[in-house]
Amino acid sequence: MSDMVRRLAWFLVASSLIAYSVFLIAGGLIRAQASDASRIVMVRDYSEPGVHHLSGMAMVPKTCTDLFVATEQISPTRFALHFTTWEHPSIDCATEDTPRAFEAIVFAGSVGVQFVGDLEGDPLTVVVVPVYQKKN
């Protein structure tokens, strides 16, 4: 009887360790995928000859955080969008991802332009969607 209890105890210990390991690994993967989704910035690009009007939304870490964007020309066809944040010091806020809108203007050719981005120095995935408007 004691041999059966000892085996049952070892089985419970081993299965608990395996379950906890799976929880840690799967939880880490799920958190990594969720944080990757917040690192993607969709940018609408309405371009006219020589001008790109960029707009979109980016996620900031807190509800009281404002978002600012600056552009930098890296090469003749490559531009960087540098996003910075500023927190209101006198407002209580929650730590949760919050969307913030942005707009920027880049003076570049109409075709062959690439955009990269970063938020406070951390790289972002920038997905540019061209917007075509019909002229009246």
pLDDT of residue 5: 87
Do 113 and 52 reside in the same domain of the chain? yes
pLDDT of residue 113: 92
Do 11 and 64 reside in the same domain of the chain? no
**Per-residue b or e along 80-98, where b marks 16 or more CB atoms closer than 10 Å to that residue's CB:** ebbbeeeeeeeeeeeeeeb
8 in any annotated domain: yes
Q: pLDDT tens string for the chain (136 positions)?
A: 788 888 888 988 888 888 888 887 877 766 655 556 667 899 999 988 889 999 999 988 889 999 999 999 999 999 999 999 999 888 888 888 889 999 999 999 888 899 999 998 889 899 999 987 655 5
Do 4 and 46 reside in the same domain of the chain? no
Do 107 and 63 reside in the same domain of the chain? yes
**Per-residue b or e along 114-128, where b marks 16 or more CB atoms closer than 10 Å to that residue's CB:** ebebebeeeebebeb
3 in any annotated domain: yes
Do 96 and 59 reside in the same domain of the chain? yes
When divided into structural domains, the chain yields a total of 2
SS (H, E, C) 6-34: HHHHHHHHHHHHHHHHHHHHHHHHHHHHH
pLDDT of residue 32: 55
Do 26 and 11 reside in the same domain of the chain? yes
Q: Which domain range does residue 56 map to?
A: 40-131
Q: Tell me the CA distances in angstroms from 127 to 17, 23, 114, one per residue in order.
A: 42, 33, 10
Do 111 and 51 reside in the same domain of the chain? yes
